[in-house]
Structure 1
Amino acid sequence: MAREESTRTTTPTERQAPAVPPAAPAAARTPGTTAGAAAKHAPRAWATRLVVVGIVLAALNLRPAITSLGALLEEVRDGLGMSGGVAGLLTSVPPLCFAVFGVMAPRLARRFGPAAVVCAGMAAIGAGLLIRPYAGGTAGFLAASALALMGIAVSNVLMPVIVKRWFPDRVGSMTGLYSMALALGTSTAAAATVPLTDALGGDWQPGLAVWAALALAAVLPWLPLVRDRGPAPATPEAVRQDREPAEGEASASGASAPGTSSGTSVSGTPAAARPAPALRITRSRTAWALAVFFGLQATAAYITMGWMAQIFRDAGVSAGTAGLLLAVTMVMGVPLAFVIPRVATRLPHQGPIVLVLGLCGLAGYAGLYFAPSGGSWAWAILLGVSNCAFPLALTMVGMRARTGAGVAQLSAFAQSTGYLISIPGPLLVGVLNQSSGGWGLPIALMSGLMIPQMVVGWLAGRDRTVEEEAAR
C-alpha cells in the first residue's frame, strides 16, 4: 500500500485523472487559463458522479446474461433440443467471447475513448439479451449470446482502466464498489429469473429477455461521456514537475486522450512528446501468474454459474430453491467484494487471501460431492466465498502495474489469456456429466483445479510490478 501511495505522487497519468475537486486549482495553474476556461472544469464534478453511476450500472449487467441462463438451463436445453455436450459448449461461450473480444478493448478505447466503448458495450448486451430467446434454434441463440458477451468482454477489460484513470487514489474502494455491484447483479439474476419466468407465464423466453431492460438502462449514464476521450489533461506545470517519467507513460497519455499520437502529450511539451519504450508484458512472470490465476478462478466461476443450479436440481432440489442457492453463492460477493479489495491494497502480499479463498472452495466442493442436498446452503456459501477470487484478481491488476498504460495492458493480457484458459472447463464438465451419468467426476475436476489456482495466486500476489520485471 505504501508503494501504491508513493506512486500516486509521481505518476503523471494519475495526475490527469479528474478524481476530485482539486482539478479546478490544477486548471487555474495552466498558463493562459481564463475564468471562462476554468469554469469548464465545473462539469467535471458531474462527470465524476456520472462515472460512478455508470460503473455501478455497467457492473450490474456483466453477469445476468450468464446466471439467468444457468437458472433456466434445463428449460433452454429442452426448448432448443440441446445435448449435454452442446449445453457444455453454451456454458463455455462466455470465456471464449471474453478472450476473443477482450483483447480488442484497449485499442478501441484509444480510438474512441473508454466511455464510448463501455456505452456501446451496454447497448450490445441489451440487444443480445433481447434477441437471443427469439433467435430460433441453437445457432441463433449462440450468436445472440455472443453479441451480448462481446459487450461484457470489452466492459470487463475497461473497468479497471476507468477506475485507475478517474479514481487513482481510490483504486481499492472503487474496485470494491464495482465488484459489489457485479456480485449483486449476478445474484439477483440467479434468484429472480425463475420467479420472473413464472410471473410472465412460465415460458423461458420472456424470462431471459427481461434482463435486456437493465442493460439498456445502463447505456444512459455513459451517453454524456461519449465525447469525453479521457480525463482532464495534465497541465504543463504538472508535466514539468515530473522528473522521472515512467516506462510506457507516453502510451498512457495516448490512452487518456485518444486522437493524440502515442508519443505526444495534450500539452504539447517536448518532455511529453518523447515516446517511451513499449511495455513487453509477456516478459513479466507476475503477468503470467496473474493471467493463469485469472483463468483458473474464471473456470471455477463459470462452472458454478453454468452448472451448480443443475447439480442441486439433479440432487432433488426444486428449480426455485436451486436458483436461490446459486443466488446465495453469488450474493456472497456483495459484501466480500467490497471488503477484499480494501484489505488487499493494505497488504504487501495478497497470497494469504488467495489461500483462504481456495480452502473455502475445496470445502464447498467436498460438501457438494458427499451431501449435495443435505448441506446445500453451507456449500453454496463456501463456494460463494471462494468465487470472490474475481475481485481480488481485479485488485491485483491495479496493484501490479505502476502506470495507467501498464494497467490497461495488464488487464487486457490477464483477462484475455485467463479467459482462454477457462474455455475448456465448463465444456468438460458437461461432457463428463453426460459420459459418467453423474456429478462425481465433474466435482473432482473442480476440486483438482483449485490447487494450481492457489499456487499461481500466491505468486501473483507478490509485491512487484510488471514494469519492473519487463525492464529486467
Structure 2
Amino acid sequence: MTPPTVRRPAARDAGKSGGPATRAWPKRLLVLGIVLSALNLRPAITSLGALLEEVRDGLGMSGSVAGLLTSVPPLCFAVFGVMAPRLARRFGAGAVVCAGMAAIATGLLVRPHAGGTAGFLAASALALMGIAVSNVLMPVIVKHWFPDRVGSMTGLYSMALALGTSLAAAVTVPLTDALGGSWRSGLSLWASLAVAAILPWLPFVRRRAEDSGRQERATENRGEGPVEGRAATSRIAGRRTEAAREDSPAGHRTPAAPAREEPPRPRVTRSRTAWALAAFFGLQATAAYITMGWMAQIFRDAGVPAGTAGLLLAVTMVMGVPLAFVIPRLATRLPHQGPIVLALGVCGLAGYAGLYLAPADGAWAWAVLLGVSNCAFPLALTMVGMRARTGPGVAQLSAFAQSTGYLISIPGPLLVGVLYQHSGGWGLPIALMSALMIPQMVFGFLAGRDRTVEDEADR
C-alpha cells in the first residue's frame, strides 16, 4: 500500500476519537441544526391556537371536538416519542431528527387542505410525530455531543423553542390577514421553516451511512471474522461477540473491549425519581398545551381583539426566550432544583387568579406570569440530563419521562374544552388549571432532588 493509503484510516480513527480538527465542523453544524429544529417544535400548535376560532368555523367543530384537537399533540408525543430511542439506535439520532423535520414540513403543508376534520387531524398527527421524536432526542444529542455544557446547550435549545412558539403566536394572525384572510394559508406557511431545518441534518444522515459502509468493508477485510468487526461499533454485534467467545476453540482470544463500549441501559421504571420527573413533565405539559390551545380564546371571549389576543399569547411564549437560557444554567448550579419549581408554580397560580378575576383589564400581566410559569419545560429538560449519569440512561429517561408525561397531559386540554362548552364560561376551566398546578409543584420538587436513576434502578 502507498503511504497515503496507510494514513487515511488513521485520520479517520482520529476523527472518531474526537480530535478538534475533525469534530469542530460537525459541532457547529449541529448547533445550527438544534436551533432550527427547536424553532419548529411548537409553531404547529401555537399557530393553530391563534386561529382556533376560524378553524372551528371552517371545519364545523364543536367546543368538545376542538378540545380533542388540542389534546392531539400530547397524545402523539406519548405514542411516537417512545419509539425515538429505538429509531436512533437503528438509524442514528441525526437521521431520525432529519426525518422528523421532513414529517413536520409535510404535515403542516397538507393539513389545511386535507378536507374535513378527520384529514386535518391526520395531517396534524404526521407533523406532531416529527415533533415527538425530535423532542425526545434533543436531550440525548446534547448529552452526547456537549456533555460538559448540558445546561447552556439546553438553554440555547429551549430559547429557540420558545422563540418559535412565540413567533407563531404573534405573526400568524397578521400574516393570515396579509395573505387574504384565509386560515389555510396562515397555517400552511409554517411548513417553509421546517424545510429549512432539514438541511443541517443531511450531512449527519450521510455520515452515518458512510460510517456503516466503512464498518461493513472493514468487517469483510479483517481476518478476525465478521462478528468481531461489527462488534466495534454495534451493541447487538457486541452481544454476538460474547456468544462467539464462548463457542470459540481453546486458545482463541477474542477481544473483550468492544462488548464493554456501551454501558447497559438502566430500568428507569424502578426509579422513583423517574416517575416523579414523568409526573412533573406531564403536569407542566398539561398547563402548556392548555395555554397554547385556549389562552387566546380566553382573551377573545373577554373582549380582546383577535390580533391582540395573539400578541398576548406570544408574550406568554416569548418569556421563555431569556428565561429558558437562565433557568437551565441556574439549575445545573444547584444541588436541588425544587426551589425553582416552587417559584414557577407560584407565578402560574397568580396568573390563573388574574385570568379569573380580570382577564381583560390585567391581560398583559397575566400573560407575563403564565409565561414565567411555562418555563417549567426547559427546567424539566435540564433535569432529564441531570438525573442520569450516562448517555443510554439519558435516552431511557428522556423517552420514559416524555412519553409517560404526555400520556398524563392528554385529558387536560380535552377536559377544558368540555367544561367550557357545558358551563358556558371560563370559571371551571381556570379552576381546573389552578388545581393541577399544586401536584405539579409537588412532583417537581421531588424530581429536583440530587440523585440519578441508575443508582435507584440498581437498588
How many residue pairs are counted as aligned between the two chains? 420
* Displacement after TM superposition at 1:229 (Å): 4.0
Report whether the alignment pairs 1:315 with 2:319. Answer: no
Please state whether the residue corresponding to 1:121 is helix, strand or coil: helix
Please state whether the residue corresponding to 2:107 is helix, strand or coil: helix
Please state whether the residue corresponding to 1:438 is helix, strand or coil: coil
Please state whether the residue corresponding to 1:227 is helix, strand or coil: helix
Counterpart among 258, 261, 270 of residue 237 in structure 2: 261
Report whether the alignment pairs 1:455 with 2:442. Answer: yes
Counterpart among 86, 89, 113 of residue 110 in structure 1: 89
1:315/1:51 Cα in 2 relative to 1: closer, same or farther (>3 Å)?
A: same
Q: Which stretches in structure 2 are left out of the alignment for 5+ residues?
A: 1-6, 213-229, 242-253
Please state whether the residue corresponding to 2:206 is helix, strand or coil: coil
* Displacement after TM superposition at 1:139 (Å): 0.2
Counterpart among 382, 391, 407 of residue 404 in structure 1: 391
| One-letter code aligned to 2:385 | G
* Displacement after TM superposition at 1:46 (Å): 1.1
| One-letter code aligned to 1:270 | A
CA contact (8 A) 1:350 1:458 kept: yes
Q: Deviations over 1:154-175 (max 9, x none)?
A: 0000000000000000000000
| One-letter code aligned to 2:76 | C
Counterpart among 238, 262, 286 of residue 299 in structure 1: 286
1:372/1:226 Cα in 2 relative to 1: closer, same or farther (>3 Å)?
A: same
1:260/1:194 Cα in 2 relative to 1: closer, same or farther (>3 Å)?
A: same
* Displacement after TM superposition at 1:36 (Å): 7.0
CA contact (8 A) 1:114 1:229 kept: no
Q: Deviations over 1:189-208 (max 9, x none)?
A: 00000000000000100000
* Displacement after TM superposition at 1:257 (Å): 5.3
1:39/1:405 Cα in 2 relative to 1: closer, same or farther (>3 Å)?
A: closer
Counterpart among 334, 343, 349 of residue 356 in structure 1: 343
* Displacement after TM superposition at 1:37 (Å): 5.4
Identity of aligned residues (%): 82
Q: Which residue of 2 aligns with 1:334?
A: 321
Higher helix share: 2
Report whether the alignment pairs 1:158 with 2:137. Answer: yes
Counterpart among 55, 59, 68 of residue 80 in structure 1: 59
* Displacement after TM superposition at 1:280 (Å): 1.3
Q: Which residue of 1 aligns with 2:224?
A: none
Q: Which residue of 1 aligns with 2:369?
A: 382
1:138/1:257 Cα in 2 relative to 1: closer, same or farther (>3 Å)?
A: farther
Paired with 1:303 and 1:50, the residues of 2 have a C-alpha distance of 34
* Displacement after TM superposition at 1:227 (Å): 3.2
Give the superposed CA RMSD: 2.3
CA contact (8 A) 2:238 2:258 kept: no
Paired with 1:127 and 1:280, the residues of 2 have a C-alpha distance of 36
Counterpart among 50, 62, 65 of residue 41 in structure 2: 62
| One-letter code aligned to 2:404 | T
* Displacement after TM superposition at 1:279 (Å): 1.5
Paired with 1:83 and 1:468, the residues of 2 have a C-alpha distance of 49
Paired with 1:277 and 1:119, the residues of 2 have a C-alpha distance of 27
Counterpart among 409, 433, 453 of residue 446 in structure 1: 433
Please state whether the residue corresponding to 2:123 is helix, strand or coil: helix
* Displacement after TM superposition at 1:52 (Å): 0.3
Paired with 1:147 and 1:407, the residues of 2 have a C-alpha distance of 26
Report whether the alignment pairs 1:419 with 2:406. Answer: yes
- Runs of 4+ displaced beyond 2 Å: 31-44, 227-230, 256-265, 274-278
CA contact (8 A) 1:113 1:257 kept: no
